Structure 1
């Protein structure tokens, strides 16, 4: 049996000190299998975004262990962590984090540029990702001129451009109307089913969570019964 793609063992995370200390996570454990879709569900302040940031190696826990395909993240050198975040992980956030006056293609290929991929290959892989998201005709448009749904599809294309093993999506439909949000959800779940990409979704939307294989409910930094 293969190792979980990601595993957390009794991880804890606090912010601040003394009277202002906030315990965001108070001992959370989970395992995520390759190709699985999992929703981390909770209200604001439940610790769900903190957990995603730790799983994605964007932050470090105060205690406990985070394993990536069986390897303790503490044993990974900075270069290995950067490679994971740039090549094996893709990110889709509620805020689009696009460079407004850069073209759609320029935004999509940014991870490839960071990875040192040649300009020719960057363009080929960027256009392939845009075609997959039906945005190839927008490649030369500036990001600032896109609709909200188009921007989120560009973000997904950028997340896909390195053929990641895992996509982390933090409230991916939070800034979208219902119909556009449903389209974005469909794209993410199609990628999960057809490409075998592991999908980790942070959401307070129970309907979105129910589309995942499994749900982890958080309340006040600990796992809780279903909301």
Structure 2
């Protein structure tokens, strides 16, 4: 059997101490394989966003082990950790997190700038990513002037610009109307299906979750079986 792309074992995450202690995750174990699509479902406060942040190496667990292709990620520090995140992951968030008065292209190439890619290569790769989303004609537009759907396409282009192996999508259609949200969903699943990008979606949306190869339910910081979650 192939080594999982991401494997977590008995991961726990605690915030605060004493009477203010909060156990966000209470012993989660999970394997995620390359090329699959996975939905993480749960109510607000269930621990699903905490789990995503740990999977994406944006935070470290209080205890437990997180492996990326068999490598213990606790050994990654400083530049090595930043480089791994930058090269391996792309992020699509509900809130967009675009710099409003900056051009669409400048928003898209930000991960390349962080990675130290030269200016001409940044522009070439940024325009190529926008072309994948049919947004190349908006490259010079300010982000603030885009529609909600165009903003989310820009965010997806930014997520793609470094050729990531994994895309994390946190409520990717939450700020969009149903028709626009359906288009964005189609784009994400096409990237998963046609390019083999592993897709990890955090969502309240059962219809979106149902499109994934697999889904897990988080409740009170633990993974619960489907029949318990229902």
TM-score by length of 1: 0.98
Q: Residue in 1 aligned with 2:184?
A: 184
Q: Residue in 2 aligned with 1:210?
A: 210
Shift of 1:225: 2.5
Question: What is the SS of the residue equivalent to 1:208?
Answer: helix
User: What does 1:31-110 align with in structure 2 at a 5 Å threshold?
Assistant: 31-110=31-110
For structure 1, list consecutive stretches of 5 or more residues without a partner in the other structure.
none
Q: Which runs of 4+ in 1 moved over 6 A?
A: none
Shift of 1:75: 1.6
Question: What is the SS of the residue equivalent to 1:202?
Answer: strand
Matched, 1:120 2:124: no
Shift of 1:2: 2.7
2-side partners of 1:18 and 1:149: how far apart? 45
| Cα deviation 1:53-78 (Å, max 9, x = unaligned) | 00000000000000000001112232
2-side partners of 1:107 and 1:43: how far apart? 31
Q: Residue in 2 aligned with 1:145?
A: 145
| Cα deviation 1:58-116 (Å, max 9, x = unaligned) | 00000000000000111223222111111110001111110000000000000001111
Q: Residue in 1 aligned with 2:17?
A: 17
Shift of 1:166: 0.3
TM-score by length of 2: 0.97
1-side partners of 2:217 and 2:7: how far apart? 16
For structure 2, list consecutive stretches of 5 or more residues without a partner in the other structure.
none
2-side partners of 1:159 and 1:25: how far apart? 27
2-side partners of 1:51 and 1:141: how far apart? 35
| Cα deviation 1:134-154 (Å, max 9, x = unaligned) | 100100000000011110110
Question: What is the SS of the residue equivalent to 1:117?
Answer: coil
1-side partners of 2:127 and 2:47: how far apart? 36
2-side partners of 1:67 and 1:79: how far apart? 18
CA-atom RMSD, angstroms? 0.8
2-side partners of 1:73 and 1:181: how far apart? 34
| Cα deviation 1:108-141 (Å, max 9, x = unaligned) | 0000011111111100100000000010010000
1-side partners of 2:154 and 2:136: how far apart? 10
Q: How many residues align?
A: 227
Q: Residue in 1 aligned with 2:136?
A: 136
2-side partners of 1:2 and 1:161: how far apart? 27
